[in-house]
Structure 1
Amino acid sequence: MLYAFVFFTKLQSQKLFSSSKDLTTHIESIIIKENNQKKDTLELKKRLSFLKESSNKKYHILYDALLANGYSVFFDKTNPQSEYHYLKSIQEAQKSKDLSLIIWTQLNYSKYLYFYCQIDRLTPIVLKVMEESNQIDSSEMILPGETFKFFGWIMFTIEDDSAVDFLKKSMLYMKGTSSESADVLNAIGNCYFRKKDLVNAMHYFDKSEAVALKTNDSVRYAKVLGDKALIYNKKGDVDTAVNLLRQDIAYSQKFKIEKNEMYASILLAKILLKLNNKIEAEKILERAGKIAGTKSYYRSSLKEVIELKLLLLNGEDSQKELILRRQLKQVEEYLLQTNGNTVLKRTNWLIQKKKYEDETQKILLELEKSERIRNIGLLILISTILSSAIAYVFFTKRLENKRLKEEEYENDLLMYEEKLKDVSSNIDSYAENLQNKDKQISFLEEELEEIKSFTSKHSEQEKNKLQQMLSSHIMTDENWSAFKREFINQYSDFYYAIIENFPEVKESNLKIIMLQKLNLNNYEMSNLLGVTIDAVKKSKQRLKKKLGDKYDLLFEMVEYKT
């Protein structure tokens, strides 16, 4: 009897222990299974209904995240449905305070942005996720191998040296020989190729090829052949390079891997042009161009195809050249907003800036441990001296400045109005002007308060003058139109995302949202719009009532740094 009691007690304790531990494993199995499913959205909702009906809220989060993936595949482009469910999954994960889910939901959204080349939107999220990943043991993450592999992809895309470290770390969590490990080995090889370390690059390409053959991964095998061709071409063995690329294209066509066929075709066309084999190059580019034109996220490849076609023409057909150059201009304009060189350079700068800030923070923390008391004392002393000096200058010149400010504000008003009409100014100067305008309004209000107690004719005239100046500082429809144009020019992705995803938002709501995006508070908004603070608050409350659950998603988008 005692033995039976001990046995069942141990069995129950094992179940309680494993239920929490197995939750992550179960979530991982669902995610992996859904990665291989066709994304018919109606069928997907039925298949995932058990998650939505579960009493465990963590499964609700998983439902929204996987549904967002389904819409992404279904529409094959960025879309409002995916955006809504991605952001909802992230928001609910944050409410749950489960760091593994917080990291995974943001990573899931990041993959969506990465796939559709939204690099500028992606960067701040990835930086945040990287920071959060340092706060949790890797074994507690959801699919840690996939997490570190994605970090490696991002670092490789922006040409950061940490890519190899992330990719090698992801290999620690790959279970045996698999397509995933072949993918990572190939990515490491590309990192070394970019560093011009051809020996290590070929070593990892060989390992990737061996795994691909062992797992019957035709996609990876075809890709490795193309990557090896890069090395042979670099070494001057052009014949081997051409032969490998032709094999790559043949495999890609056989298994309908259009993306890989497109990449291999572009590489082969470049080599054929150097060999002056224009006929084959033209044929290959025609096929590659058709593939590149089918997806918006193939625009980088389409740009390469057009540039190669121009080289092929060599000025011999002016009409065709004109058409191609017009196409090239359109593609370049699109790439400037997604994954063009400007965006990638800015992204790389953000990554390096974040690294610098992290290193600086570590140094400051070390210094603080040994010199905290001395530094604080010195800071207090300096602050006291500066405060005293500022106070002295302020009080001695206050009366003189007061007289000069009235004259300056009249001139500033004219200058301000001209700046608003100048559409060549950027949104940062608008924000600065709006803040300056708020300061002017505050000053005028203070001046009016001070002369209220006087009854002389002179004070009454001054009061009327100040009142006119105050009224003229309120933002007019003309000024608002100029401001709005510049805002859209600077924050086009944000503005059109609001218009597309929140059709309930009216023009009056947009004013509040756009000023909020520029970090203006309720008091500053009320001054600029010529309404009370309560009116601004009520406007936000009405918007919240109108949007319901989508209100938090709206202001989460507002707070994202772009």
Structure 2
Amino acid sequence: MVIFFGTLGDYTSGIKYLNLGQQQEIILPRLRAEILDNLGMLTLKSRGDTVQAMKNFELAQSLALSENDSLRYAKILGNQAAVFEGMKDYRKALSLLEKDLEISRSIGDKRNTIFALMMQIRINIARQEITDVPHMISEAELLLSGSDDKKTILELEIHKLHLAIHNQEIGHELDARRRIERLQDSLRFLDGDPVLSQLKFMADKQKYADKLSLAQAVIKKKQAERRLWLILSLLVLVLFFFVYNAVRYRARKRIRDYEYQLLNLKYTKAELDRELMSSKSQVEEYVAYLKRNNEQINVLSALLEEKGNNIERDREELKILLQSHLITEEKWQEFKLLIMKEFPNLLQEIQSKFSDITESNLRVIVLMKLGLNNKEVANVLGVTPDAIKKSMQRLKKKLGNQAGVLMEYISDKEFV
């Protein structure tokens, strides 16, 4: 792939893939030397950065020597010579080429030998030192015999033309020109610049086609995502509509149930009041009234907690109804008259036995003697069970030894 991009002149892509190759965790030193060598050449061709190119060549050279890779070492010497050729430091370039040729000839690598010879010929012609050039050309021709490397053959014919012109050999010059023309015609259709340009154009075309396909795929993906979001949004809206209507229906139903329950509680209260008015002469009936009253108080208290988020008007209505079930001071006085009528000596007996009790103590004692427990007493008096418990504890402490007598008296449900 690197050779492909380098051939097409796309040095940036070649450098990119070489750097990716370097980043691989497991890579053999020989392969790393090859990568660094090629990276140096492409860096030189793409940016003309001789400093960075030479750094890559030196690293590659160290790896090649450590691996005894003679061919790679010879190629690196040739590439370094090309750098010095570009800098017109011909002496340094020729020195490196001598070493390159020595190694290439010893290992019998024709390709690298030809590469070094062609550069050596080119530099000698540039220096106007052509004494050894014919010998070099002959060696190169011998190595190229049977080869189809028309570009190198063409370059060699151009060198022969320069040599003929320099030596003023008209016949050789004309022969060289004819051979050059034929080779150029051949390369124009096979391996010349137009073909390379066409290949590069096709590669660029494929690259842009790939980018276009990717862009179209991204657009289709985004369109699919938008459709999906639209469908999901519609589903969420439909779901919200059904949930909203269900919540509204349940809310209206709760309101209807609550209103029905409130009316039922008001009706029950009125029934209790009527029953009490018709049976005021019997304390037992009043006790039954208190028990049923307690049930209503429990229901109303639960409703007040449950309807904590309701409108204030509903809460006030519940509070008023709850208050109507409590034993107020007025109701207590009426109840005392009823007790005195039924049991004339009961209140006097309690006060004579327990002289230190208050009116509120008397109220609690009477209700407990009637059979109400702490919670029921607290309900009808509108206080908490803890308040009743603490009130009795204080009373027991105040009565001292008589506290036991008080508890026995309360436990005895017989009235005198």
- TM-score, L = length of structure 1: 0.38
Distance in 1 between residues matched to 2:174 and 2:88, nearest whole Å: 35
Matching residue within 63, 70, 75 for 1:218: 70
Q: Distance in 2 between matches of 1:202 and 1:343?
A: 31
Count of equivalent residues: 224
Cross-structure match for 1:288: 140
Match of 2:402 in 1: none
- Measured in 1, the distance between the counterparts of 2:27 and 2:73 equals 18
- Please tell me the root mean square deviation across aligned C-alpha atoms, in Å: 2.4
Q: What is the percent sequence identity of the aligned residues?
A: 23
Partners of 1:373 and 1:246 in 2: how far apart?
A: 66
1:87 is matched with none
Query: CA distance change for structure 1 residues 336 and 371 in 2, over 3 Å: closer, same or farther?
Result: same
Structure 1 unaligned runs (5+)? Answer: 1-150, 375-562
The equivalences for 1:19-168 within 5 A come to 151-160=1-10, 161-168=12-19
Q: After alignment, is 326-335 or 156-165 more displaced?
A: 326-335
Q: Which residue of 2 aligns with 1:307?
A: 158
For 1:159 and 1:183, how far apart are their aligned partners in 2? Answer: 19
Going from structure 1 to structure 2, the CA distance change for 1:373 and 1:207 (only over 3 Å counts) comes to closer
Q: Return structure 1 stretches of 4+ with deviation > 6 angstroms.
A: none
Match of 1:171 among 19, 22, 25: 22
- Report the alpha carbon displacement of residue 246 of structure 1 after superposing the two structures with TM: 1.5
Any conservation in 2 of the 1:233–1:241 contact (CA below 8 Å)?
Answer: yes
Counterpart CA distance in 2 for 1:163 and 1:216 is 27
Which of 174, 178, 188 aligns to 1:336? It is 188
For 1:507-518, what aligned pairs fall within 5 Å after superposition?
none
Q: 1: distance between equivalents of 2:119 and 2:25? A: 31
DSSP-derived class of the 1:356 partner: helix
Measure how far apart 1:209 and its partner are: 0.7
**1:190 paired residue among 15, 37, 41:** 41
CA distance in 1, matches of 2:142, 2:173: 18
- Of 176, 181, 188, which residue of structure 1 is paired with 2:32? 181
**Structure 1 residue 335 displacement after superposition:** 2.5
Alignment of 1:343-422 (within 5 A): 343-370=195-222
| Residue 316 (structure 1) aligned to one of 168, 171, 178 | 168
Shift of 1:250: 1.5
- Return the offset for 1:293: 3.1
Displacement of 1:371: 5.1
Q: Which residue of 1 aligns with 2:106?
A: 254
- Return the offset for 1:370: 4.3
Q: CA offsets per residue over residues 252-292 of structure 1, 9 Å max, x none?
A: 11211111111111111111111100112222122112222
**C-alpha displacement at 1:194, in angstroms?**
0.4
In 2, Cα distance between the equivalents of 1:241 and 1:257? 20
In 2: Cα distance, 1:174 partner to 1:205 partner: 21
Alpha-carbon distance in structure 2 between the residues aligned to 1:323 and 1:257: 30
1:169, CA displacement in angstroms? Answer: 2.6
Q: Which amino acid aligns with 2:73?
A: Y
Question: In structure 2, do the counterparts of structure 1 residues 359 and 277 end up closer, same or farther at CA, with 3 Å as the change threshold?
Answer: same
Alignment-mate amino acid for residue 221 of structure 1: Y
Aligned counterpart, 1:235: 87
Contact 1:293 1:302 in 2 (8 A): no
Are the aligned partners of 1:258 and 1:291 in contact in 2 as well (CA < 8 Å)?
yes
Q: In 1, distance between residues paired with 2:141 and 2:30?
A: 29
Q: Do the aligned partners of 1:179 and 1:212 also contact (CA within 8 Å) in 2?
A: yes
Report what 2:312 is aligned to: none
Mapped partners of 1:175, 1:371: distance in 2:
42
Deviations 1:137-196 (A, max 9, x none): xxxxxxxxxxxxxx1111111111201122233334585543332222111111001021
| Contact 1:174 1:180 survives alignment (8 Å) | no
Secondary structure of 1:353's counterpart equals: helix
Larger radius of gyration: 2
- Tell me, in whole angstroms, the C-alpha distance in 2 between the residues paired with 1:174 and 1:299: 40
* Alpha-carbon distance change, 256 to 215 in structure 1, aligned in 2, over 3 angstroms: same
- Give 2:60's match in structure 1, choosing from 198, 208, 212: 208
Change (3 A) 1:327 1:290: farther
Q: Secondary structure at the match of 2:131?
A: helix
Unaligned 5+ segments in structure 2 are 227-416
SS of equivalent to 1:184: helix
3-state SS of 1:278 partner: coil
